Structure 1
Amino acid sequence: MSSDPISFESRPELKRPVLVLAFAGWSDAGMSATTAVRYLTEQLLATKFASIDPEEFYDFSVQRPQVRLTEGTQRQIHWPSYDFYYGGGLGAERDFIFGVGAEPHLRWKAFSEAMLRVVRECNTEVVVTLGAYLDEVLYTRPVPLTGFATDEKLMKELDLLPSRYQGPTGMVGVLGDVFRRSGISHMSLWAALPHYLSASPNPRGSLALILRLSQWLGLRVDTGPLERSAAEFQNKVNEAVNSDANLSAFIRELKKREFEQ
């Protein structure tokens, strides 16, 4: 077992950094959270500077490494990973760190300690975790956003409905508790997606997360490509609903219940 699970490729000097995290898996319905973080990483031309050693935290029989061909014939193994990138610009007066990868299968407390070390060594000002979940929401409405934060000021700035969820949690929930107990400013932003639509990825969820986050942070992000993907996705969903009598009936009933509330 490695004595240090974090590998730093560089130690960038960052200005008032915000750390934005997402995890593939349980808290990433429609791949909305991880797609949002990867999109922002591309928009800011962010550079990878650190990663967490997967050997200690992932069960490779559950999430297997991938074999990919390079130069046509050479095979290369790509392991599950959790990587960190940094970038700045796009109108914001601060720098950004993005963490994205698979939710770990093992040793969550040790993983949380590794994440806490990244937060502290980078002098992170605020940590934002992104997530998405399935709920009984209408696909024709704007994507509902909920969340929570370590202080009321953040909640007011984000204009969020407070989350009332109780039950099983993922790494996002565990990290939120770790940050709170460690005195680190943290907020979590979640998109609610229709449980009756299994299509993934769902760019509407990613777009909603990015728009709210960009508004709060003052980022001027080109969301054009994502908006087009969201529109295409919505058109395909409309076609699927119109061709499925049972699904159409369910949605009519959902609209009726919403109207009666």
Structure 2
Amino acid sequence: MPSRSELYELVEEPSGLESPVLVYWFDGFIDAGRAGGGLVDHLLATLDTEVVARFDVDTLVDYRARRPEMRFADGAFQDYDAPELTLRLVRDDVGSPFLLLSGPEPDVRWEAFVSAVTDLIERLGVRLSIGVHGIPNPVPHTRPLSVLTHANRPGLLDDAALVDVELRVPGNVASLLEYRLGQSGHDAIGLVARVPHYLAESEYPQSSLTLLRALSATTGLLLPSGELAEAARRTDELVREQVEGNDQVAKVVHALENQYDAFAGGDTRGSLIAEQRAVPSADEIGAELEQFLAELDDRADTDDDRDDDPGDR
């Protein structure tokens, strides 16, 4: 039956769930290449979903910090893009159910939100919660992207890809959720795509595809990849053309390739920050990369407009 807690409304309690996994992503913290966001968009666009619970965004989100978009036309406001923080039931390609929690990262009441999510996890019998996002790294787009992992319980994951450095990082709801779940005895892990730093500010589908494959391998879910793989192929082609047309960026990529290849044979387990050897500094390549990204975005927009042109159909 539908019910309401302080922060969420349970719209429909799904039946027949047997220890599902929960995938979560929140818009607001670091997500290089929009790796996690692109994965979530892809899952929502390609799989059957139904809303299980809606969170009270009026209580959790500061609209003045992230103003929702409104559409004005014909002398009047026509539409309002209201933010949604929603828990959905999703079914993979063979009908296996899992849960997906996504939306804007709460600006306030983090502990209350985490407590509410934990309540849903216990109520729905979730066996494993998985956060997804991307981080910028000094890696080239011409080499396979890798995924770093972290877990809130020793032995939950293979140690080979676990992050093994000590860092102090800005807090975020996804990390707090993983931490609090561990304290309350619930398993949670993070899948982190390492995205080329010069593509971190652009949408990079290859990073989302890398997370999708890692998610499938971790959970056994059969997730569709065709559309995402094609988007990744098109974007990689655009990047290749832009790099070939810019000598400075090509030099940066070549230096990153050399660094990547030098470390490929060594122990790079969990390395968030690779040693910088013979790679230009951010100041040295900043202007070139800004121009590169602007040209890449312009090219992508042009291709999108061409795809939308009825005359091309």
Instruction: Give the TM-score, by structure 1 length.
Output: 0.89
Deviates more, 1:146-155 or 1:129-138: 146-155
The amino acid of 2:30's aligned partner reads S
* 1:102-141 aligned within 5 A: 102-141=104-143
Would you say the 8 A contact 1:147–1:161 is kept in 2?
yes
Would you say the 8 A contact 2:83–2:104 is kept in 1?
yes
Deviates more, 1:33-42 or 1:237-246: 33-42
Secondary structure class of the residue paired with 2:156: helix
TM-superposed deviation, 1:126? 0.9
Q: What residue number does 1:90 align with?
A: 93
1:258 to 257, 260, 264: 260
Determine the C-alpha separation between the residues in 2 that align with 1:96 and 1:69: 38
Q: Could you say which structure has the greater relative contact order, defined with CA pairs below 8 angstroms and 6 or more residues apart?
A: 1
Structure whose CA Rg is larger: 2
- Residues 15-70 of structure 1: per-residue CA shift (max 9 Å, x gap): 22111001112232222102212322333301112111111211111111222479
Determine the C-alpha separation between the residues in 1 that align with 2:259 and 2:77: 57
The amino acid of 1:12's aligned partner reads P
- Residues 179-225 of structure 1: per-residue CA shift (max 9 Å, x gap): 11010011110101111125522110110011111123222222111
Q: Which runs of structure 1 show a deviation greater than 4 angstroms over 4 or more consecutive aligned residues?
A: none
TM-superposed deviation, 1:159? 5.9
Determine the C-alpha separation between the residues in 1 that align with 2:72 and 2:121: 35
TM-superposed deviation, 1:112? 1.2
The amino acid of 1:51's aligned partner reads R
- Residues 208-251 of structure 1: per-residue CA shift (max 9 Å, x gap): 01111112322222211110100001011111111222211112
Matched, 1:67 2:70: yes
* 1:1-261 aligned within 5 A: 4-13=6-15, 14-68=17-71, 75-91=78-94, 94-156=96-158, 160-162=161-163, 164=165, 166-168=167-169, 169-198=171-200, 200-261=202-263
- Kindly report the root-mean-square deviation, in angstroms, between the aligned alpha carbons of the 2 structures: 2.5
Determine the C-alpha separation between the residues in 1 that align with 2:214 and 2:262: 29
Secondary structure class of the residue paired with 1:137: coil
- Residues 81-103 of structure 1: per-residue CA shift (max 9 Å, x gap): 211110235347x5200011111
Unmatched segments (≥5 aa) in structure 2: 264-313
The amino acid of 1:188's aligned partner reads G
Greater strand share, structure number: 1
TM-superposed deviation, 1:136? 0.8
Determine the C-alpha separation between the residues in 1 that align with 2:152 and 2:200: 33
TM-superposed deviation, 1:255? 2.3
Instruction: Describe the shift of the 1:31–1:257 C-alpha distance in structure 2 as closer, same or farther (beyond 3 A).
Output: closer
Aligned residues with identical type, % of pairs? 25
Unmatched segments (≥5 aa) in structure 1: none
